[in-house]
Structure 1
Amino acid sequence: MILRTVLRIIGSVTALVALYFLLPLNRSWSAVTVLVVGLLVFMGLVAFQVRSIIRSQFPGLRAVEALTTSVPFFLLLFAGTYVVMAAMSAGSFDGPLTHTDGLYFAVTVFATVGFGDVTAKSEAARLVVTGQMIADLVILGLAIKIIMGAVSRPRQPEGTGGAQPPEEIHH
């Protein structure tokens, strides 16, 4: 079971990273559209994962899998947004951003390291970076709490639709 989970994690993260590096993010896509659609997909992914954790025979293992796929998705989403913004407006950052640069910047913002070698220059870029910082706190706080709360919840059998059996009344 653990080996299967590790292989699923490696496969999922590899697919996400490959997709990120294969996408032509230097096209004039709307950075806002990419970010909003991506965040909606991310919220759907977290909701699916919480439900999966609640129904799992091994909720702790499933929670680890959920976190190790959700966080890379989140980071790649912001990395892609930064690359698109840099391609759309040369003044967004202190230089053009490659896929690697975008990922590097998103991870340094997430880790709160801020080396200063890549910086947001335009107001739009600074707003998106600020949004990532706030979302990072939400991810680290709320999302982890929700996922870990799902681990500690009593497991619901498949097909019950979340309905709990009635409790017995003792007099």
Structure 2
Amino acid sequence: MTAGALVAGYYLLPLGSAFTVGPVLALVGGIAVLALLLAWQIRRITLSPWPGLRAIEALAVTVPLVVLLFATTYWLMERSVPSSFSEELSRTGALYFSMTVFSTVGFGDITARSQTARLLTTGQMTVNFLLVGVAARLLLNAVQEGRRQRDRSAAGGDDAPPAAR
């Protein structure tokens, strides 16, 4: 449901037509908000009676948000500098390109042509690696810790978190 709302927002939000400092700052800010959201989700996972389910919910928000942040940036870049990609990108085309970069499929039908587009695509690849590697490990650790706390609480341990008592 959240992913659907994010995609709907992507298509419905009125966006400017220029790739300027503003969209770049918005992308950087969006990634910072994403990191804060992930930290908050990790805390919620460790305190949850169902940490595995909470981690799945966190991924269901985080992954679409990353893909949509970059899709928005690609779309704005295409509006500002039409030769940035091998073909004109609609919002759907930008979403498609962002998803192929995220999934590392790289069909090759749309490619980054300009140096700026290539740098941005490389940035998405880096964020993707961090998300898959580091964030997935942090979420897994949070699930394990949440289960330990739940088990201690069920056994009547005094070191259980207040939310689990």
TM-score by length of 1: 0.82
Within 2, Cα distance between the matches of 1:151 and 1:75? Answer: 24
Q: CA RMSD in A?
A: 1.7
Question: Does residue 1:128 correspond to 2:147, yes or no?
Answer: no
Does structure 2 retain, via aligned residues, the 8 Å contact 1:27–1:87? yes
Higher mean C-alpha deviation, range 83-92 or range 147-156: 147-156
Question: Which structure 1 residue ranges, 5 or more long, are not aligned?
Answer: 1-9, 160-171
Matched, 1:99 2:103: no
- One-letter code of the match for 1:39? I
> Displacement of 1:158 after TM fit?
4.2
Offset from partner CA, 1:54-100 (integer Å, 9 cap, x none):
11011011001111111011111111110011111112112321111
> Post-superposition shift, 1:14?
1.4
Amino acid aligned to 1:22: L
Give the alignment of 1:18-167 within 5 angstroms. Answer: 18-28=8-18, 30=20, 31-153=23-145, 154-155=148-149, 157-158=161-162
Q: Give me the whole-angstrom Cα distance separating, in 2, the residues matched to 1:129 and 1:47.
A: 25
C-alpha distance in structure 1 between counterparts of 2:4 and 2:162, whole Å: 30
* Aligned mates of 2:117, 2:91 — CA distance in 1: 16
Tell me which moved more, 76-85 or 25-34: 25-34
Provide the TM-score with structure 2 as the length reference: 0.85
**Aligned residue pair count:** 150
Q: Which has the higher helix share?
A: 2
Distance in 1, Cα, partners of 2:65 & 2:88? 22
Identity of aligned pairs, percent?
Answer: 46
Q: One-letter code of the match for 1:25?
A: L
